[in-house]
Structure 1
Amino acid sequence: MSAQVTPDASDSRSSTSPLPEPPDETPAACEPAVPPAAATASAVPHSSVSALSADHVVREYKAGEEIANSISHGLGIVFALAAIPFLAVRAAAHPEVVYLVGALVYAYSMLLEYTMSTLYHAIAVDKAKKVFKVLDHSCIYLFIAGSYTPFCLISLADSGGLWLCAFVWAVALAGVASETFWVFRPRWISAVLYLLMGWCVVWFLPPLIAALWGPGLWLLVGGGVCYTIGCIFYVLKKIPYMHSIFHLWVLAGTVCQFLAIAFYIM
């Protein structure tokens, strides 16, 4: 008697059911995804990215450059500390209070600018460096206005000097506001404001020549020329140590104008 084999029900189902389809070889989860930042960057032209970041990210100098930058304007701090008592003594020889006001505003604006610049280049902490960058650039406006103050209050007092003084301080405050609140401003705006403040004195050239004719006038003009030449090296910042050379030209301009104020105005 032969045994009859009955097919198992599960075998019958497995033989009649269709085979499962193979999984998709390229599921969406495995497809390479573009990070949002990369997608954004790829959507913006490279030139636009450079333009946006050129003036709003703290520039990185090599360690040797920052040492040179700090030392060069550190010398400016020493010079300013020596200038304050020297100018105060010379101003005190005059009975008019405008001499003392002009001397101290000029000297302390010089000290403030060189101090902020030195700290900006000496500090390596990113957040602090960003703060001191704003302070440094803001104090440039204050130093330019402070340099005008003794000329306006003393040499040009009878020739519209007060109007010139009010103008340069108004531009200085506008510059400080732009540095502080207009973060994404075009870089050329700062350069234009610096040069506008530095050379607007030509509107008062005839009375200034009459008041400072001789070495005092040439020292004043020489200081302006030094600052202007320094701007050339400032825009060449991508070349190593150009910023340090810019600092040296600024120091030269400061010395020239200090001599003009100390010996031909005070």
Structure 2
Amino acid sequence: MKNRFLIPVLAFLALTSCRTALSVANAATEKNILLTTDLPEDPAFKKVIEPYKVELEGKMNTKISYTAVDLNKQGDNSNLGNLLADYTFEGADDWAKKNGIPGGVDAAVINVGGIRSTIGKGDILMKHIYEVMPFENEVMIVKMKGSDLKGLYDYYARTQKNNPVSRLYIETDNGMSVKELINGKEVEPAKNYYIATSDYLALGGDNMAYFGKGELISTGIKLRELFIEKFRANSEIVPPKDIRLLFKNKKNKTNE
């Protein structure tokens, strides 16, 4: 008889114990810690990171080339913009010829907005390349029909934007395209062309939707690593001076 009453009582206690509310024993405000330069360094932490800091600073301050002129990205044919567009073309062209595209690439397009800094005349250090190209963008090749390249030329005619190019010549007048050349020749509508660019642009960045009509080919080459390699290979940088973008009677100024 006792067990008949004991079981329900134990069940009741178990259920009520599961629903017992938590109570706050004590609540008190604490003083905020203000992070300032006056806070002392943690000696133990500093000791751990110091070797890495020294190694990184040494790497970033390593001289990799030299320039006798300022390398900038201003204007429709900026010397730094055209230089990096040429480096993009050369890297992609070399990769293409080694990976089943015997004729290599035909041209290159990069965006001036992706060039985040300039390089003053004098020694070029490793850190300067990281400042110019802080992103982990990859070099892509887009296979396009000549007829689809019309979208590229229309883009420049419409935007009048100084996105650097290599092996392309684009001339407009009052926002209308008047001359369109690739490697010094007129575009053949039925021909396949290979255009080197960044993954950002290949996927439609900066409103370059025309790349969507092409076939994307990944190279696995990081733009920044390519630029570092190219700067290292040249003890003195001589930037290009040729005219690639000619916007006559330009109405809107979109230069970076």
Shorter-chain TM-score: what band?
A: under 0.3
Q: Which has the larger radius of gyration?
A: 1
The TM-score, its normalising length taken from structure 2, stands at 0.27
Which has a greater percent of strand? 2
> Relative contact order (C-alpha < 8 Å, sep 6+): which is higher?
2
